[in-house]
Structure 1
């Protein structure tokens, strides 16, 4: 049977600051991110399977992405763990705010690499992650493709 790509889109609000950056994004600010997740696989051929004809149930894909990405990053602030904003990060955490201290600079490029690893680890073995598109603004986005990696 043919391989088919399916895509599910997600959105979440996240704040960040770019440590050491020479522009405005060194300041704490936020984005309304849009994440498109495309997987590839053969539709289930077994007509006795309740998911017959599906590559993966959109609900199953939603559960993975929601647990690994959306629920973690939505309304959180992401800092590089070596940021001089660490005092601010600690203060926010002490006040019950969601803060993520990442091992990387929280650019769209690095975030999409991180998201790809997290999603790939949760997909069934017969389904592959084809691509991710992380849109930071209406005109700016980063894309990850399995074929490039």
Structure 2
């Protein structure tokens, strides 16, 4: 009988972006209130001497990892494609703004791919990243599943 359990923790952050060369309104600077759901999978620890006995993973550790790799970096940041031609960006860091320049178009989809790559190696042994869901708005989201990316 299987003992796999999935744990999910939800995170919220504010972030702005613009989609370079996009043919719609999202080519302009705009922001979102993102909701990120991170689901990990593993088996509860069976060692009765372990302080984590009965847990797949401590929710506090999952929170720490996701904050360090995603939330603390992206919250209240402006994320743009490094190839974009926004000359005004050159003065933003001097104004104390948080600007992240990426090698990719900062769509919900591409951000999920980066988030998965940042979170996966930080998880404890035996705990796998199962899925990510990133809501960009109340009714628009993208999902990443490990089983789809083998």
* Residue aligning to 2:31: 30
The separation in 2 between residues aligned to 1:76 and 1:138, in whole angstroms, is 20
Q: For residues 1-149 of structure 1, what are the structure 2 equivalents within 5 Å?
A: 2-85=3-86, 87-149=87-149
When normalised by structure 2's length, the TM-score is 0.97
Query: Shift of the alpha carbon at 1:95?
Result: 1.1
Query: Shift of the alpha carbon at 1:125?
Result: 2.2
Give the secondary-structure state (helix, strand or coil) at the position aligned to 2:34: strand
How many residue pairs get aligned? The number is 148
The separation in 2 between residues aligned to 1:75 and 1:16, in whole angstroms, is 10
Give the secondary-structure state (helix, strand or coil) at the position aligned to 1:134: strand
Query: Shift of the alpha carbon at 1:43?
Result: 0.5
Q: Which runs of 5+ in 1 are unaligned?
A: none
Q: Which runs of 5+ in 2 are unaligned?
A: none
CA RMSD of aligned residues (A): 0.8
The separation in 1 between residues aligned to 2:142 and 2:75, in whole angstroms, is 18
Give the secondary-structure state (helix, strand or coil) at the position aligned to 1:20: coil
The separation in 2 between residues aligned to 1:44 and 1:28, in whole angstroms, is 46
Deviation string, structure 1 residues 92-126 (Cα, Å, up to 9, x no partner): 11211100000100000000000000000211121
Q: Which 4+ runs in 1 deviate beyond 6 A? A: none
Query: Shift of the alpha carbon at 1:88?
Result: 2.1
The separation in 1 between residues aligned to 2:32 and 2:53, in whole angstroms, is 38
